[in-house]
Amino acid sequence: AIALPCDIRDVDQVEAAVAKALGFFDNRIDVLVCNAGVAALDSIQDMRPHVMDAVIDTIVKGHMYVAKFVVPQMIGRRAGKIVNISSGVTGSGHAMLSHYVAAKHAMEGLTTAWAFELAEFSINVNCIAPATIKPGEGRGSGMVSGLAGEVDMTPDAAFEMFSAAGNMPGEKWRTEAQNITDAVLFLASDNADQITGTVLRVDAGQGAK
């Protein structure tokens, strides 16, 4: 394994990081998971331009940069799996997060566009839309902690608030990081060879509400 710090908003840093990764893995990346993200609470009328830029540049443009440099070797091998990470908010919306909701909808749009463009090269492109992740479990929990700080709540309280607002009622519907990991591993496996251009909602029922 290799860890490469990178500002995904900087195309030159992305190009350098992907080059190092390809060098480490003998010029072969089989699976690309697009999961960088940032969020903040902003009303429409008080939206901060630098925050909007950070959200859009990270979630949308950043992943387009990564794909730009990873996809060519997949095309050359006529094989590969791309898994984009969207959000449960694309199925239900969420106040005070319009830049984040828009960016996550864009990830679903990229999924279908890339699926069509890369189909002739036998590359699968799919997307997972997760619910809010339980605090203390994975990157998504860090986002919850950050949003909690903006409204003077504990991470656990913020998680329960977001879950109650979006998820199905009942104690079962609390999404954990392992639920998302399992979905990614499925879409990256041979069992998903006939699945492409699809959004898999692991969102505790948000999209059905």
Catalytic residue annotation: 100
* 199, 84 contact by CB (below 8 A): no
Phi first, then psi, for residue 127 (nearest 5°) are: -140, 145
| DSSP H helix total and E strand total for the chain | 8, 4
| Lateral strand order in the sheet of 199-202 | 31-34, 80-85, 123-130, 199-202
* 57, 9 contact by CB (below 8 A): yes
Which residue from 125, 130, 8 is spatially nearest to 64, judged by alpha carbons?
A: 8
Q: How would you write 82-93 as a 3-class SS string?
A: EEEECCCHHHHC
